[in-house]
Structure 1
Amino acid sequence: MVSPVVIRRASRWQDSVRLLLLIDAAARPISETETETEAAPPTSVGVVHTQVRLQKLDFWVRYPDYLAFELMNEYEKAPDEPELLNLAAGILNSDEPDLRRFPMLRYKFGAFQELDDSLAPLVERGLLSKTQVLGQKRVVEHIYYLLERGREVVDAMIADAPALEWYVERTRLVVDLVDGLGGTQLKDRQYLLRDYADTPVGEHISSITDQARVRLGELQSSHVASAARTVPEAS
């Protein structure tokens, strides 16, 4: 008899903390238009637009192997920035791809997990405010406002719980990697990986750690060979 596959799940508290740190990292300043139209609460210190964008950023936090693959993509575009390759190596040469992975379902718009349960405690405690832009038949956009209290709690958590430092660094890395890209652009970018795109709807997206490590070895070998070619011969 084949044992069922056990899916590792985060607790509600873990999801809430991770999303608060991610929203803090991704939030941009409130625009004058948002202030003038009173869409933003008075104590807002930042905003993240669209649920799709938040979901796609969260995917790279929850799947370190996919993030490493994306870092290698960026390195191939800019081979004069070996730090990107070093970051990927730091992820793949550790046990992070197993210990830090919390699987997500593949939905019709890509990686998905219902956010309401995880965001509810943040809203209830005055750390976050969320609103929706309604179209004629459906919600057009979800908007998440980080409140002053939310940023204060983030700062306090970082000071009081050093174990959260990984999430702080990782959420910032993910946001910096795709700075300026919207949710649809991130979705399209993640669909470029066949393992992701071929996951049946309703099933959990699987790990790509092994193939990412193979690719890392190839890129590292290529980098070493390229560096050797640029070293001038001794006279």
Structure 2
Amino acid sequence: MIETGAEWGEPIPPLNALVVNAKDGLPGRGVNYYLRRYSKSENVDYMSEDEKRAVVDEIQGEIFSYGRWDEILKKYGLRPVRDGLADEAADHDEIAPPVRGGWSSEGESKEHKALKDFVATNPHVVGLPRNCRNCRKEYLFATGDKADVVFETENGYLGVEVKSNISNDADINRGLFQAIKYQALLRSEQKAALLPPTARAVLVTERDLPAELQNLADILGIFVYIVSVNS
């Protein structure tokens, strides 16, 4: 495909970037050639995991949005799989669709504030060191959006959206997409500052997610932490 890309005069996203290690979610060293090409850096071996993950996220996005895969198959004499996976191999778990209503439109509740304040003073509940104190609540973006909590770490930023125990399924659904938005905005701020776009965002809730919402979180790549504060 490298040769085909040169022949066509355009880079073809590397499919092997979809194959990742189950432990860290990153491709093996065999994809370093592509990481160098996409990151414009020769020091791929010295990148942090967060920096590599940021580049891999961009590569995977290009893979899914690339529009010439059928032409690739035809060029190589291959046929597309039309019927998908065999029934016995397919995962039939439902995935919650985006919800465009049904969430609370009221101001901040005391439960939401309590959970937000707890997360801000206890960074370890979202996987950060206990001594991580560089934290801002109601973090304001250039768009006017506000993230509940944003931590600044040595590897970048971690945005946190919180949903308390009074949040219904529609609120949690919305929270997953809010986390996606905050992650994109934080990465854009890093790019504007000529920094590697390593930012992540997570969702904190006070109850276990129904299966279809957990499946949605998995598809979107948003990690969910369960933290009990208002019990």
The interval holding the TM-score normalised by the smaller chain is: under 0.3
As a proportion of its length, which structure holds more helix? 1
TM-score by length of 1: 0.23
